[in-house]
Structure 1
Amino acid sequence: MPVRARNFHLHLVSDSTGETVTSVARACLVQFEGVFATEHVWSLIRTPAQIDKVADAIEVNRGPVLYTLVDHELRDRLREHCRRLGLPCVGILDQVMSTLGVHFHSKTAMWPGRQHALDDEYFGRIDAMHYTLAHDDGQSTHDLDDADVILVGPSRTSKTPTCVYLANRGIKAANVPLVPKVPPPEELDAVQRPLIVGLVTDPERLVQIRRNRLHLLQQETETDYTDLEHVQEEMQNARRLYARNRWPSIDVTRRSIEETAAAILQMLDRRREAAGSVRMETA
């Protein structure tokens, strides 16, 4: 029996950018079949007057409230508004912060948006993003050895979005496309430092993705680029290349960008742990 779709309002209140509360809310919502939420994101809420304006909007479009607010006065004010309206109001980090505080025998700094501070880590992410954008789709191959990760794969195997996601995590990621009948750049064979990962996917799915792409560009969709036999051959050649060079590979057919990036980050961690063990043994 099909699940009847239900629509409701969801208010996400944050004293920072709202990324955390939005991510948690969406991770939870996907577990509820047939439930669709109209998100109202209230970011950079840092004064009682702003909380009161949010409360007025919540009263107009009533729905659950999730928040990430470090100021106790603001949290109490928001909870009181929700109590009056009879709406659930949940601080998604409260239990975590309380548990960690007890374990660390410490109090929180009460600094809104502290995770977005302009520190070395932040500027490292900016540097990684600049590198990634400059080394997209086989550009600037002269300094590939400066990368942390190099993704290799046929066209439309999610190389670029995966690299951008990794760059946002502070990873310098370059990508090199595999073009039929064109050998990979010589610079790729010369790299020593980066982790090289090959991407593969199901040929039939890849054909559909490429056709959709060409259709959006208003280009001819029936070419070797979208011919199933040619695409199957592309994928076989890619797998042979990875095996010949002993590069690890990831099948992205049923993976999201986030899942592919997570697998790559795990590979990096294992690589660093192995390098650390070798250094300890030779010390």
Structure 2
Amino acid sequence: MKDTVIIYVISDAIGETAQHLIRASTAQFTLEGGADIRRHAFVRDAETLIEILGEAKNADAIIVQTLVQKKLAVIASDYCAEHGLPCIDLVSNLTAAIEQKTGQKSKEDPGNMRRLDQHYFDRIAAIEFAVKYDDCKDPRGILEADIVLVGISRTSKTPLSSYLANQNYKVANVPLVPEIPIPTELTQIPRNRIIGLTNSPEKLAAIRKVRLKSIGLDETSSYSSENRILEELDYGYRIFKQLGCRVIEVEDKAIEETAALIIEKVK
């Protein structure tokens, strides 16, 4: 039984999509040697492709291809079939199905997805929005936001704002501090656009101590004390109730998982 696996990603673009999918799949296995992912991007001629396939054969690798040019995809599939290499084609079957449904032919243009279009410019605008309205620097952003995240310190508001901005959502976030009243703008928007974020006292204490240490401050500061954290959590829940917003517990959730929950609740 092997405790490691070699996977060749072959793409005529950058191969990023395949790499994400491979990581999701390999995470389901205990591979002591890990997954050795070897990405070959911008493969756009048969000679280069065959050379890479030869390397993969010598390495006894799995092939994952995202080749939109049919000629190259067929070469890769035929080579793998001939030499007994596992080959996963992430593009061809779906492309063929779309062609059949629409009656159109694929453009077979590897760079088409990456061209600058309105989606790209909207994403850049969303990222700029998230930076501008991070930590409630200007509460007027709350009125324009698609999503408003509220929560006490260290509940992942800023990382989530950045991640959601990359999904084209305009996000503002508001820190909840017992001594500071919430901005009136929070009461002027539909509650379904507001998401409350919370965490366990234990997790917050650990995160805050690390934060204090990283900036050279005393880890025993009131900021990380149990009493202060419980006070803030209690205040946070009172604000969530006042706003009538939905609440997500972020403890032990990856940013991607929490973001997916937020999008689901907002939609």
| TM bracket, shorter-chain basis | 0.7 to 0.9
CA contact (8 A) 1:141 1:187 kept: yes
Flag structure 2 segments of 5+ consecutive residues without an equivalent: none
Cα distance in 2 between the residues matched to 1:77 and 1:91: 12
Corresponding residue number in structure 2 for 1:210: 208
Corresponding residue number in structure 2 for 1:196: 194
User: Which AA in structure 2 matches 1:121?
Assistant: H
User: Which AA in structure 2 matches 1:8?
Assistant: V
The alpha carbon displacement at 1:130 in A equals 1.0
CA contact (8 A) 2:191 2:243 kept: no
CA contact (8 A) 1:145 1:194 kept: no
Cα distance in 1 between the residues matched to 2:212 and 2:36: 33
Mean Cα deviation higher: 166-175 or 38-47: 38-47
Question: Which secondary structure state, in structure 2, belongs to the residue aligned with residue 51 of structure 1?
Answer: helix
CA contact (8 A) 1:146 1:194 kept: no
CA RMSD of aligned residues (A): 2.5
Structure 1 residue aligned with 2:92, among 79, 84, 94? 94
* TM alignment of 1:125-136, pairs within 5 A: 125-136=123-134
The alpha carbon displacement at 1:268 in A equals 2.7
Rate the CA distance shift 1:65–1:197 in 2: closer, same or farther, 3 A: same
Cα distance in 2 between the residues matched to 1:138 and 1:199: 15
Structure 2 residue aligned with 1:33, among 30, 36, 41? 30
Mean Cα deviation higher: 13-22 or 109-118: 109-118
Corresponding residue number in structure 1 for 2:149: 151
Cα distance in 1 between the residues matched to 2:38 and 2:128: 32
The alpha carbon displacement at 1:190 in A equals 4.1
Cα distance in 1 between the residues matched to 2:231 and 2:112: 50
Could you give the per-residue CA deviations for residues 67-121 of structure 1, whole angstroms, max 9, x where no partner exists? 1111122123333444565421211233333334434444333221433331111
Corresponding residue number in structure 2 for 1:280: none
User: Which AA in structure 1 matches 2:16?
Assistant: E
CA contact (8 A) 1:148 1:193 kept: no
Corresponding residue number in structure 1 for 2:8: 11
Rate the CA distance shift 1:217–1:51 in 2: closer, same or farther, 3 A: farther
Corresponding residue number in structure 1 for 2:175: 177
Could you give the per-residue CA deviations for residues 208-250 of structure 1, whole angstroms, max 9, x where no partner exists? 1222233333432112221123212211210110111112211
Q: What number of residue pairs does the alignment pair up? A: 266
The alpha carbon displacement at 1:142 in A equals 3.0
